[in-house]
Amino acid sequence: MSGKGFSEKRRVADSLRLLPRRAWRTLQLSFLALLPSRGGAPDPGVAGEVRECEPLQIRGGMGRFLDVGGELLLFFPDCLAPAAPFILFRLKREGFSRCSVEVTKRGLLVRGRR
């Protein structure tokens, strides 16, 4: 591989790091929501309590975070509205109903029921 090709790849990688944090997290969440879940150990939430979640945590499936009543309340800090349709797609794929994504100043609040 020529040195020029390597430097071009590095330039592209460096430019991705320059994205604002909120834009990067929004892209990350959108992309991960399109991938099939890998399964994971249940990590149930407390009924009625909103749980803060990182985009990478949804790889194991959003069903892991259900409370005992079958409700899902997740908050994705620093994520923007364009990720909402991708999250809704993922929730429907995992069998959730009554799904919604609320945009707040701090991020996205996700609700669902199974």
63 assigned to some structural domain = yes
* Helix 84-93 / helix 21-34 crossing angle, nearest 10 deg: 30
Three-class DSSP category at 73: strand
Range of the domain at 71: 21-113
pLDDT digits (tens, 9 = 90+) for 17-72: 667 999 999 999 999 999 988 877 778 888 889 999 999 999 988 989 999 999 99
Contact 55, 28 (CB under 8 A): yes
Q: Looking at the domain assignment, is residue 100 inside a domain?
A: yes
> Which segments within 1-66 are labelled E, that is strand?
51-52
Q: Which residues of 53-75 are buried (b: 16+ CB within 10 A; e: fewer)?
A: bebebbebbbbbbbeeeebbbbb
Task: Give the model's pLDDT for residue 1.
Answer: 47
How much is the average pLDDT of 73-82?
97
- What pLDDT score was predicted for residue 37? 81
Q: What is the pLDDT of residue 56?
A: 92
Tell me the C-alpha distance between 114 and 99, whole Å: 10
Q: Which residues pair with 109 in a beta bridge?
A: 75, 102
Residue 57 covered by a domain: yes
Give the Cα separation of 28 and 55 in Å (integer): 7
Predicted local confidence at residue 5, as pLDDT: 57
Residue 7 in domain: no
In a domain, 107, yes or no: yes
* In a domain? residue 1: no
In contact, 91 and 99? CB cutoff 8 Å? yes
Domain count, the chain: 1
**Total-model pTM:** 0.79
Tokens representing 32 are 């991960």
Give a yes or no: residue 11 inside a domain.
Answer: no
- The answer to whether position 56 is within a domain reads yes
